[in-house]
Structure formats: structure tokens, C-alpha cells
Structure 1
Amino acid sequence: MPSSYRRIKIPLLWLRRHTSSREFMLISSALVGLTAGMAAVILKTIVHYLFIALTYGGGLLERPVWLVVLPLIGILITVVVVQTFFKGKVEGGTAGILYSIAQKSSIVRRSKMYSYVITSGITAGFGGSAGLESPIVVTGSAIGSNYGRSYHLNYRERTLLLASGAAAGIAAVFNAPIAGVLFAIEILLTDISISAFIPLIVSAVVGTLCSKLILEEDLLFFVGESVPFSAANVPFYVMLGALTGLVSVYYTRTVHRIEKALEPLAGKVYQRAIVGGLCLGLLIMLFPPLFGQGYESIKMLELDNADMLLRDSWLSFFGTNEWLVLCFTGALALVKVIASTLTIESGGKGGNFGPSMFVGAYTGYFFSKLVNLVQIGNVPISSFTMVGMAGILSGVMHAPLMGIFLIAEITGGYTLMIPLMVVSATSYAVVKYFEPYSLEAKSLAQKGQLLTHNKDRTILRIMKIQHLIETDFQPISPEATLGELVEVIAHSRRNLFPVVTANGELAGVILLENIREIMFKTEKYDIVKVKELMIKPPSIVQYDDSMADVMKKFDESGAWNLPVLRDEKYLGFVSKSSIFTKYRKLLIKTTNVT
């Protein structure tokens, strides 16, 4: 153990012994928030100065070829670093954290405390079209999880510190502590009590102070306060909410389509990096605002200076009239999804949080500009640009509260609160109709590896039939005699006996209560065969059945034990009592801090 680490750990161990659990959690959340906040500061600083150094302050980007080359180089370097130094084990993103909470007792690999800072810093610094927020969430979550492991905290406390680290990371990136807390609650924690808010708040505030005291203003995404809200624009905000909801559905489905398209290259990391990186570079050359995170271009939209974005594009050959600018910004909202997915799926590291804000801003700008151009209304472009970000965040992340308060905080005021609520609620309602799970949670939910707000369904998804099979039932051949059956019964503690053929197939079952009378008639021991006494089981459980299907079979059959088969071969029995026992244990394990 390094001496510096020992000097830190010993006082905290003393505090652990001499403070209450609640007091130690508050101290721990502050320390986790400080560390996660500093990690966010380091990552933002690395990306900012790496970007400036590589592009000579942006001057290099005036040559279109560098728009292709730099992101490809960044992705290739990231892949080399991942394969060489991390053995290919830098994966998961926010979805990986959700998986750790649901399936790994909130234990996150130690290397994730720094691996995402390094790899995402390289990807974004070279102009990869992905966000830094998801890597910061992973880093903060890993810090909180491993802090909890170091001090032998239980699952509930470890999960809360994991969420505290994520909240601090988001708070530090955007200088938005409320958004950080709501991110942790809506996305990471599925069941939380009021007392758990305090550690989250402490951690988010400490993370925010880190960025506020250290980072320069140009490293933070911050825009001026928008124009005052007008009730006459409510119908247009409702329409924007519906549009951002549909774009969010497009976002989620496009990401999964590209993931499937690149599956044939899954084991060929360098080929995948080259193919994906080249496609990304060509896309950026056509649409230069896709280079990097794109927050500067959002500020241009907010100021209604979108024509400046068009001047750097090949489309400027056709001029910069308002309709061309409108089409350009609308196309950017759609192709950003492709660009960010190519960045991540080809081997780069980043997340969909930042790209969601980009898509939202461009969608809001496109809608408001269209309304003004066709003269069906006169809406404030800056307000709709900002509110659009909340709509896409709410739809893609399934986190409407976080979307509302994040935009409210980065605009420096709450004048847009009503429009934010209208757009976020409408977008979320539209998305939920088409996509019941968020982008990050969809694949996990389909595999039954996700904690959801429905506690019963969550636990049933976690439980696996293979962990509940009981094999201490004594099988007997259908050709065996009653005497042989009695001998098996005499050496068993069970009252149920599977009748299994020579090739391992289940022929039926013997219930002790059904043969109680005949088993004492010794004169029939050599005459009566087991196949004459067996009965058909009330239902059959297949090895790959979900626990919800298993419980349905128990309810319909009324049985307490059911046989389990795999490829028609008998494996054992599953009992209702063992399921209930496992359910109680998981209920305790997955209940957060009270």
C-alpha cells in the first residue's frame, strides 16, 4: 500500500469507527465529490488544450483533410491504448454502470477511475464527435464504488456513493449541482428515500465548487439568459416537445442500427477503427460542426448566427440564404447521431449525453427558424434552441427532471421553467409510447440485467433459473419395480421423485402421497412397475425460461415443485419456496439507503 494512500486511509478508518454510519456517509460523499470533481476538471482541461495544440488554435481545421485525419488518428490511438494498457477492458459507459448496480453489487472495476479520463480525452481531443459527460459519469461512479469497497461499506452505501460520484461529475461539467443530483436519481438510482438526498447534494455541491474555482469560463458550457417567457408561445412549445420526442426515438433506434451494422467487425478492433473512423471523418468534412463536442456551435445557434456554421461547409458554394441555413441545421440534428455513434462504436470513447444536447439545440433552432420563416408565429430562437436540448435529453435519457433543471442552470436563470417543463414532459410522453427504456438501458433491459422502478419486476429479472435448480431429488427408471422405488424412498428426504429414462429424458414424476397405500403391499414389489405409478408433472420449466414465466407456471399449476428441462433432458427441480427465499434476499440487497 503506497504511503500516501495509507496516510489518507488511516484517518478515515478512525472516523469510520468513531462516527455514526450517517455521519461517515456525509464525510465520504464530500470526499467522493471532491475526487470526482477534480477528475472532471482534469478531463475538461486535457481535451481543451489537446484540441488547441493539435489544431493550432483551430487554424489547421481550415484544411478539410484534417477534419478526416484527426478523428481517425484519435480513434486509432484510443484503440491502441485500450488494447495495450487496459487489455481491451474499457467498455460499458453509463450502461456498464447500470449493469454493475444490477448485477455486480455496485462494484466497478478500479481501472475505470482513470481509464475513461485517458481514452475519452484522446478521442475528444482529436475531434471525435462524442461527449465527455458519460466518461465522467463512469469515472465518478468508479471512484464512489471503490471508495465504498476500501472501507467495506455494504451494497446500499456503496451504491449511494457510486451515484454521488456520478452526480459530482455531471455537476462539475456543467456547473449544475441540481442537474447532477437529478441525474443520479433518475438514471442510476431506482429506489431512493429522502435521507439519501443529502449525500448526493453534498457530493454535487463539492463537485461544482471544484469546476467553479479551477476551470476557466470558456471551458464550461454556459449561455446567456434567454428572453422572457410568453404564454402565447405555449402551443409552439408543445409542438417542439412532440418533435423532440420523435427525434429522440430516431436517436435511440439509429444508435442500435449502427451497432448492429458494425457487429461483423466486433472482433477486429483495428479494422473496425479504420472503417468507422474514415466514415466519421468523411461525415465531418461534409458537416464541419460535427468536429469535437460542438458546444461552440450551440452558442452560435443561440445567438442566431447559424450562417457562420454554413460558411465553413462545402454548401457555402450555394450561398447562405436562410432556407439553406435551415436545411443545414436540420440535417446536422440528424447526422450528429450517426457521427457520435460511429465515434463510439469504432473504438473511440465518449458518451451520448453531449450529443443529445447538440441534437436538441439544433432541433430547437430548426423548429423556431421554420416557424418564423413560414410566418405562422414569431418565436424567440434563443429560447427554443435551449429548450430543445431539454427535450432531447428527456427523451434519449428518460430523465425529464434532469433535462429541465440542467438547462435552467446553464442558462443562469429560471425564466424558461414553464417552457422547459412543457417540452420535456411532452417529449418524454412521446418517447415512452415508442421506447419504454432509455438509450443506455435498452439493451440491458432486453437481457433482463437492469434495475427498474418496478421492484417486483426488477427482482424477477435479476433472478436466474440456473441458480435455483435443486438436484437432490432421487431419479428412478420407469422400468424399475415398486420394490426398487421403496428402496429409493427409504434413502431420500423428499416426497417427490422424477422418473428419468436411460437417455436422461423425464418420463413423469412419482408423488409419495399417491403411492402411500401400495408401497406397503410387499407382494406387489416385483410385479408393479414405476411407469404404472408415475403421473405427468403439472407443468414443465425450461432452462431458459424467465422468472416471470416460471412464476406464471407455478400460479397456473398450483404446484410447489416443478421439473426443469434443457433440450428435453432432466436437470432437477425448482421450488416455489426457494424462489421466495431468493426474492427476500434480493429485496434486501437492492433496497437503497433509508
Structure 2
Amino acid sequence: MSGTGTTDAVGTANRGTVVETRPPSPVARLRNAPWGLLALAVTVGAGAGLGSIAFRWLIVTFTHLFSGHADYAGVGREANPHVPWLGVFFVVLAPVVGGLLYGPLVDRFAKEARGHGVPEVMLAVAQRGGRINPQVSVVKALASALCIGSGGSVGREGPIVQIGSALGSTLGRVVKVSEDRMRLLVACGAAGGIAATFNAPLAGVFFSMELILGAFSVEAFGATVLSSVTASIIGRAAFGDTAFLTLPPFHVEHLGQYGLFAVLGVLAGVVGVGFTRILYWIEDACDWAWRGPERLRPAVGGLLLGVVLLVLPEMYGVGYPVLEKAAHGGYVAGFLLLLLVGKVLATSLTIGIGGSGGVFAPSLFIGAMLGAAYGATTHQLLPSTAGAVGAYALVGMGAVFAGASRAPITAVVILFELTGQYSIILPLMLAIVLATLTSRLLSHDTVYTLKLRRRGIDLNAPAPGARIGSQTVEEVMEPLPAPLPDATELAEAGDLLVRSEHGALPVLDAEGRYLGTLTARSVAEVLAERPGGDFEPPALAGDLAEPTTPLTTDMPLSTALHALVAAPGTGLPVLAPGKDRLIGWLTHQSALRALHTPVSA
């Protein structure tokens, strides 16, 4: 990546000792002010909340168009009233028609909208500085709504995470924030999307920090909370303050149940890993079998999905009505296991043929079927100890998700928010921890990271072909922050440094020549000193500017790294070769980004 020019123009005029400066633009103030991140986080949250409303409306609209019902999964074998002459066989054609619509859309405008979305966001944060194609938000919303509405057995969390993250990334580009803030805005978009879609603000925060950022910090927590709360308020205004699932009350009726929950946790870890493996085995099989153009793959593969829906119409779409009925004990154990296998097959086939949707909701569905079947069986074997079937369905939901994603905090929080019952915490934590440990013993990857590893990408390692040291400074430098005129008073310079995210700013003379850098630490030390005797502390930025090792755009990064490590602050200015004109800024982050810049980038 390269950047030239300054982000904020600071005009200087040689009028004796008077130097005029233009005030920073509103965008620059938003980017650099301490309150800027808060305002951006709220803006991203509002966008994610509105996006979730539009996305859910699209799903309902397309589902009603393709099936004649608001949610066909819970209806049973009924005909589509729009085409009653087809009878129940309309489910064979619905995925084909849907694939004919979203297949070309994804192939033409945003190929990254294919699949379940979260891995692409994780990759953008880990190795692309949070940069996501702005078109993704629109294409993902349309493609996923068409896929789910026409019978695709996937969830809506992956799409809304990708939609919200794309909004955050786009806003970051418009405001020209630093890479760190760009990643944070992407995480804010993910948090807001989850919060508004599932009415689970805490789950949105922990999902974005645990899976998207992969780290916890005070700044990240504060920003994602603001985004999540904002999106939740908008979502509740549209959908009401109710959970997206109606689940039964939870009670632990016997201490012996904790042992049963522990066994369920281990089983859920195995099932979570199995779901991950089968998902990608079927995707590999679809890749091997398909030889035609990618834009037609969803339509042709939709015939296979339609056959599955004809046998098990409960697999149509997300399937929340079926999940709720299972949690309330509405199915026998044998049929629950059939629904479990059917969901694994239907979701894997939907993704494999090029569908667009998430795997979060399918993992909850699979967990509910596993837990309910396990609970029904234990109730038959240990009627005085086992307790209600619904308790095992709830715990199974969180445990299978944890086994597939290895995001235990998110799993605990979202199930707690869904039920609102503190009594669920102990058995839920026990089962989820055991599911996570079991998953870790059985597999190195999760349902999200395995998709990337299959493409040769390891989020915890340098990108293949990284060339750190061989690039020039121009390839990795960032835009230049607003420089300081040498006649700037130290008190004013201190205020500007506080609002800057670099800890140091370049200083220019009246003719725009580079003099050195002024660091926040040096200004603070001078302002804190009390003059005594003949000592007169420096009064202007130019008096305190420190000359630095000159970096030029044609300098190898390997050479520049030595100066960067020894420099105060968080970066160094970059000059044009043979000149004293500033055109960029090299930071530790931009240098480390070279670790994740492949040769083809």
C-alpha cells in the first residue's frame, strides 16, 4: 500500500514572523479528536441497525415470494399458494430460481459475498487492514436474502456481520482513519449487526471481540459497546424488545444433571467438529463435480437442495420454528436425530453449491436437535434425575456452536440473553467449556478458520509470499498527518499532539521545509518545567523539533526499520528522494503490515 500527499492541508505564508494556518477540516477533526472514535462507532452502529432491518425485511419478502409463507420450515408439507398446481414440489424449483438470481449477482459484483461471510471479515481485519469491498454490503444482503428465501438452509448472522463490517470499513475509508481504527470500525459493524439482528447486544460485543478482533482492550470494548447499543435501540424500535427465539424456562432439578450436562458438552464438541468437517467435505465434492460457469452453480446445485427440502421441508431457510418446537419437546428422539443429520446435509449443500448465508444459526439448530434427543433419551433411562428435555436443548445449542467456532464467551452470553435466566449459567458454562476443549483436541481449526486455511491462509502466521524488507518505504507508508508550523506555540502544539494518534508530528518552517519531529513527550516535559535563573524554555514548536533519520520513498523497508525502531513516538516522516518535501508517514503498524502483504498484492 502506498499513500502520497497530506491528509490535512496546513498552509504557511512567509509574512515576517506571522504564519497563517488553515483550521483542520471537519473530517480531520472527526478523525483525530478524542471523541471521534465514539462518534464513528455510533454511526456504524446506526448503519448496522438500519441494515439489519432492511436485511430481515428482504428475507421475509423473498421467503413469502418463493414459498407463500413467512417461514415455511414450520408449516409442513403445504403448497405455495402462489403456484398451487405445483403442490409440495415447488420446493424443488425454489432453490433453482433463487440460484438463477443470486448466482450471477455474486459472480459479477462481489465474489466474497459467497459462503458464510465471517471468515472474509476475519481475514480483512487480520491481514488487510480492515479493508472490505464497499459493494459487499449490498450484494451480500440481496444474495443471502434470496438464498434463504428460496430455501437455502443457512443463517442470517454471517451476512449481517459482513454487511455491518463493510459499512464500518467504508466509513473508515471515507474519514481516512488509521489501520487500527479501521479494524475497530469493522468490529463495530459486526457487533452492531449481531446485536440488532438477534436483539443480543452483549453477544454482539463479545462476538466481534472474540472472533473478529481476536483480542480484548478497553478501547475496543468501549467502541463495540457503543455500536452494539445503538444498533440494538434501532432494532428494538423496529422489531420490539423480544428475543428472536421463544425458549422454555430452564431449571436444574437435580445435582446429578450436571454430570449429564458434562457428557452432553463432550458430545457437542464432537458434533461441532463433525459439522465443520462435513461442511467442507461437501464443498470439496461440489467443487470437484462442477465444471460449468460459477454463476450457474447455485441454480444447478439447487436441484439437489430441492430434493432434500422435499424429503425434509423443516430444512427450508433458517428453521427457527423447528428449533423452538424441539426445545419445547415437540419431537421424538429418532426424528430429532434425523433433523440433525438433515440440517448438516442441507447447510453443507447450500454452502457447497455457492449459496450465501451463515453457519451460526445452523449450529444452534444442530445443537438443539442433539440436546433434545439426548434429553429425551436420558429422560427415558433416568426419569427421576434427567429433568426436562428443553434444558438439554438449550445447553446443546450453545455447546455445539462453541464446538464448531471455539468462541465460548459468545456462546455463553448469547444463550443467556436468549433465555434471560441466570439458572442456565452453570450448566451452560460447564458444557461449553468441555465442548471447546473437545473441539480443540480433535481439530486445529474452527468452522471459520478452516475455510481460510484451505486457501492457504493462516491468520496467526505471515501471509504466504510476504516480502518484509524487500519493499520500499513508499509501498507501505501511510498518509501524512497534519504538520506543525515552526511558529506554533507549545501549548497549542500540545493540544494538537493530544488529538493526534501518532504521538509525534512533523514540523515545517515558514517555507514548508521539513525541520524535524515534535513529540508529545518532549512538549510535556518542557511545559512541566518551571523556569529558574537564566533558563528560558523553548516557546515554539520549531525550537523543540528534533531532527530524525531522513526516510525517503525509495529507501528499502529493511533499512528504514532500524530508524523506525529507534525513533520516538509512533512513526517517522517520509520525504521525496533528494528533497525536503514531506509526502508520507511510516509507522510501526504500516511496517508490520508488510508481514501480511502477499507478493501479488
TM-score calculated relative to the size of structure 2: 0.70
User: How far apart are residue 100 of structure 1 and its match?
Assistant: 1.4
Partner-residue secondary structure (3-state), 2:382: coil
- From 317, 320, 326, give the equivalent of 1:301: 326
Within 5 A, what are the aligned runs for 1:389-404?
A: 389-404=397-412
User: How far apart are residue 326 of structure 1 and its match?
Assistant: 1.4
Q: Tell me the equivalent position of 1:371.
A: 378
The structure-2 alpha-carbon separation of the partners of 1:154 and 1:240, relative to structure 1 and needing over 3 Å to count, comes to: same
User: How far apart are residue 132 of structure 1 and its match?
Assistant: 0.9
Cα distance in 1 between the residues matched to 2:57 and 2:436: 34
Within 5 A, what are the aligned runs for 1:193-592?
A: 193-215=217-239, 220-228=244-252, 230-264=254-288, 265=290, 268-269=293-294, 272-306=297-331, 325-375=332-382, 377-445=385-453, 449-452=457-460, 458=461, 461-462=462-463, 464=465, 466=467, 468=469
Please tell me the residue identity of whatever aligns with 2:114. E
Within 5 A, what are the aligned runs for 1:59-78?
A: 59-60=78-79, 63-78=87-102
Please tell me the residue identity of whatever aligns with 2:169. S
Please tell me the residue identity of whatever aligns with 2:277. R
Partner-residue secondary structure (3-state), 1:301: helix
Partner-residue secondary structure (3-state), 2:35: helix
Are 1:24 and 2:36 matched, yes or no?
Answer: yes
Are 1:33 and 2:33 matched, yes or no?
Answer: no
User: How far apart are residue 586 of structure 1 and its match?
Assistant: 6.1
Cα distance in 1 between the residues matched to 2:100 and 2:381: 46
Q: Tell me the equivalent position of 2:537.
A: none
The structure-2 alpha-carbon separation of the partners of 1:180 and 1:274, relative to structure 1 and needing over 3 Å to count, comes to: same
Q: Tell me the equivalent position of 1:55.
A: 67
Number of equivalenced pairs: 452
Please tell me the residue identity of whatever aligns with 2:41. S
Partner-residue secondary structure (3-state), 2:414: helix
Contact 1:45 1:219 in 2 (8 A): no
The structure-2 alpha-carbon separation of the partners of 1:258 and 1:213, relative to structure 1 and needing over 3 Å to count, comes to: same
The structure-2 alpha-carbon separation of the partners of 1:447 and 1:468, relative to structure 1 and needing over 3 Å to count, comes to: farther
User: How far apart are residue 128 of structure 1 and its match?
Assistant: 1.2
Are 1:91 and 2:114 matched, yes or no?
Answer: yes
Please tell me the residue identity of whatever aligns with 2:35. E
Cα distance in 2 between the residues matched to 1:448 and 1:82: 23
Give CA deviations for 1:210-232 in whole Å, capped at 9, x if unaligned: 11110257893343432356432
TM-score calculated relative to the size of structure 1: 0.70
Within 5 A, what are the aligned runs for 1:144-223?
A: 144-215=168-239, 220-223=244-247
Cα distance in 2 between the residues matched to 1:582 and 1:255: 46
Contact 2:370 2:393 in 1 (8 A): yes
Contact 2:157 2:197 in 1 (8 A): yes
- From 140, 148, 152, give the equivalent of 1:128: 152
Partner-residue secondary structure (3-state), 1:166: helix
Please tell me the residue identity of whatever aligns with 2:375. S
The structure-2 alpha-carbon separation of the partners of 1:396 and 1:87, relative to structure 1 and needing over 3 Å to count, comes to: closer
User: How far apart are residue 431 of structure 1 and its match?
Assistant: 0.4
The structure-2 alpha-carbon separation of the partners of 1:384 and 1:150, relative to structure 1 and needing over 3 Å to count, comes to: same
Give CA deviations for 1:132-183 in whole Å, capped at 9, x if unaligned: 1100000000001111110000000000010000011011111011110110
Contact 2:169 2:185 in 1 (8 A): yes
Cα distance in 1 between the residues matched to 2:141 and 2:564: 38
Partner-residue secondary structure (3-state), 1:347: coil
Cα distance in 2 between the residues matched to 1:447 and 1:155: 24
Contact 2:105 2:139 in 1 (8 A): no
Please tell me the residue identity of whatever aligns with 1:90. A
Q: Tell me the equivalent position of 1:14.
A: 26
User: How far apart are residue 394 of structure 1 and its match?
Assistant: 0.7
Identical counterparts, % of pairs: 26
Q: Tell me the equivalent position of 1:570.
A: none
Please tell me the residue identity of whatever aligns with 1:277. G
Contact 1:102 1:450 in 2 (8 A): no
Cα distance in 2 between the residues matched to 1:121 and 1:416: 33
Cα distance in 2 between the residues matched to 1:219 and 1:116: 24
User: How far apart are residue 588 of structure 1 and its match?
Assistant: 5.5
User: How far apart are residue 271 of structure 1 and its match?
Assistant: 5.2
Cα distance in 1 between the residues matched to 2:93 and 2:562: 58
Please tell me the residue identity of whatever aligns with 2:342. V
Please tell me the residue identity of whatever aligns with 1:297. V
Question: Structure 2 regions of 5+ residues with no counterpart?
Answer: 1-23, 73-77, 473-555, 566-587, 596-601
RMSD (Å), alpha carbons: 3.0
Cα distance in 2 between the residues matched to 1:180 and 1:288: 31
Cα distance in 2 between the residues matched to 1:403 and 1:582: 42
Cα distance in 1 between the residues matched to 2:285 and 2:134: 32
Partner-residue secondary structure (3-state), 1:235: helix
The structure-2 alpha-carbon separation of the partners of 1:13 and 1:30, relative to structure 1 and needing over 3 Å to count, comes to: farther
The structure-2 alpha-carbon separation of the partners of 1:219 and 1:83, relative to structure 1 and needing over 3 Å to count, comes to: farther
The structure-2 alpha-carbon separation of the partners of 1:117 and 1:443, relative to structure 1 and needing over 3 Å to count, comes to: closer
User: How far apart are residue 258 of structure 1 and its match?
Assistant: 0.9
Partner-residue secondary structure (3-state), 1:60: coil
Give CA deviations for 1:480-517 in whole Å, capped at 9, x if unaligned: xxxxxxxxxxxxxxxxxxxxxxxxxxxxxxxxxxxxxx
Partner-residue secondary structure (3-state), 2:422: coil
Contact 1:403 1:424 in 2 (8 A): yes
Cα distance in 1 between the residues matched to 2:410 and 2:267: 19
User: How far apart are residue 91 of structure 1 and its match?
Assistant: 3.4
Please tell me the residue identity of whatever aligns with 2:341. L
The structure-2 alpha-carbon separation of the partners of 1:580 and 1:350, relative to structure 1 and needing over 3 Å to count, comes to: farther
Cα distance in 1 between the residues matched to 2:64 and 2:242: 13
More displaced stretch, 580-589 vs 148-157 = 580-589
Contact 2:110 2:135 in 1 (8 A): no
Greater relative contact order structure (CA < 8 Å, 6+ sep): 2
Partner-residue secondary structure (3-state), 1:379: coil
Higher helix fraction (1 or 2): 1
Contact 1:357 1:390 in 2 (8 A): yes
User: How far apart are residue 446 of structure 1 and its match?
Assistant: 5.5
Cα distance in 2 between the residues matched to 1:379 and 1:464: 56
Partner-residue secondary structure (3-state), 1:415: helix
The structure-2 alpha-carbon separation of the partners of 1:465 and 1:178, relative to structure 1 and needing over 3 Å to count, comes to: closer
The structure-2 alpha-carbon separation of the partners of 1:139 and 1:87, relative to structure 1 and needing over 3 Å to count, comes to: closer
User: How far apart are residue 87 of structure 1 and its match?
Assistant: 6.5
Partner-residue secondary structure (3-state), 1:262: helix
Cα distance in 2 between the residues matched to 1:182 and 1:87: 28
The structure-2 alpha-carbon separation of the partners of 1:107 and 1:271, relative to structure 1 and needing over 3 Å to count, comes to: closer
Cα distance in 2 between the residues matched to 1:358 and 1:407: 13
User: How far apart are residue 50 of structure 1 and its match?
Assistant: 2.8
User: How far apart are residue 261 of structure 1 and its match?
Assistant: 0.6
Within 5 A, what are the aligned runs for 1:95-110?
A: 95-110=119-134
Cα distance in 2 between the residues matched to 1:427 and 1:226: 20
User: How far apart are residue 469 of structure 1 and its match?
Assistant: 5.5
Cα distance in 1 between the residues matched to 2:107 and 2:199: 34
